[in-house]
Amino acid sequence: MTGCYEESAMIEEYVDELLNTFRTPFWLDECGCSIENLPLEIKNASIKRLDLQRLHGSYDEQQCIKFSHSRLAMQCEELHISVKNRISICYLVKTMPNLRLLHVKCEENEQKQYSIEDNKQDQNSTEDKLVNWLEQQLSGVRSLVEIFGCHGTIVLRIS
């Protein structure tokens, strides 16, 4: 067991060194991995933006909690992610201190939108309800500069 741990630590150290050679932010969108196998403990100052929408589909609450407590999340300023339920959005905003811009798709919201479409009602009302709910949940927690919905994606700008 010790050998496995030492090898893992050496790999993390090597990845940190490799990433330190980059001097500009970059996207982790081509590696084809999920939160379960992302190098969450990387501490490289150049990683400011993460696009997790293309990696895995929607993340559940436990995956969002695990991610939000990682070093990678702590330094993240811009995040693109798909979540299963709306409470995960609040959790990410509350626990990621450097987060300034969040682009999020909410599976729970999309399911409600489809049922509204079946009833021939206004498609924007579901997004508006989620935006209003988020404003209520996050008031006093973080300063929101702007929050809006656009084509199924909720965008939060945080100061």
Indicate the domain borders of the chain. Answer: 2-158
Q: In this structure, what DSSP letter does residue 50 have?
A: E
Q: Where are the beta strands (DSSP E) in the chain?
A: 49-51, 78-83, 101-106, 144-150, 153-158
Question: How many Å apart are CA 58 and CA 83, to the nearest integer?
Answer: 5
Q: Is there a contact between 115 and 154 (Cβ–Cβ < 8 Å)? A: no
Q: pTM for the whole thing?
A: 0.70
What pLDDT is recorded for position 43? 65
- Local mean pLDDT, 10-residue blocks, the chain (159 residues): 58 63 43 55 74 82 91 90 94 94 88 50 71 90 84 90
